[in-house]
Amino acid sequence: MNVNFYLNNKEKINEKFEFFIEKRQLIKIESNERLVEAHVKKAEHNLGILKQLNEEYNDWKIIGLYYCLYHSCLALLANKEYSSKNHTATIIFLLKKYSEITNEDINLINELQIKEEDAKFYTQLKQERHNANYSTDIFFDKSKIEKNRIKTITFLNKVKEIVKIAD
């Protein structure tokens, strides 16, 4: 997914958003703080796998990081009373609902908004997760894992702050 294309074309974000609503890939749900908290806990659980695996399993570390990030994103959706059944729909939702200041979000300080680099990181880690899942190669080095781990933790902490969940 080309995040830059959508960031530069708000109309396309709106079109895709409506498409995913129509196809029921994005679904309006009732307010559910427990669901938000459950997604954050699942994100933390997925992050915990990194401590259990040695370097021999760096491909699985990428998968754990990706699913930490994905459940963090699902927490953001649930926070706005939506659920998603599609990874691309999730990204479109984040771009639409969290990347621009709305009346609902006006009180969020700048650091708490989902930034362009967050959306790009999500799509990059999604591709790396795909490679880790389906490739027969093992090609994730320690520095790449650490870089992605730090970015994932930063994103998870941002999500916790947005949805006001304490550690």
SS3 category, 25? coil
**Looking at this protein, which amino acid is placed at residue 108?**
L
Using the structure block, give the residue that is written with the tokens 């990347």. Answer: 99
Q: How confident is the model at residue 137 (pLDDT cuts 50, 70, 90)?
A: low
Q: What is the set of domains in the chain, with CATH numbers?
A: 3-163 (1.20.120.330)
pLDDT in tens, 66-121: 888 889 989 999 999 999 988 889 888 988 888 653 333 323 323 334 555 666 77
How much is the pTM?
0.73
pLDDT in tens, 26-69: 999 999 999 999 999 999 999 998 888 887 777 788 788 888 88
Closest to 133 measured CA to CA, from 68, 52, 64, 74: 64
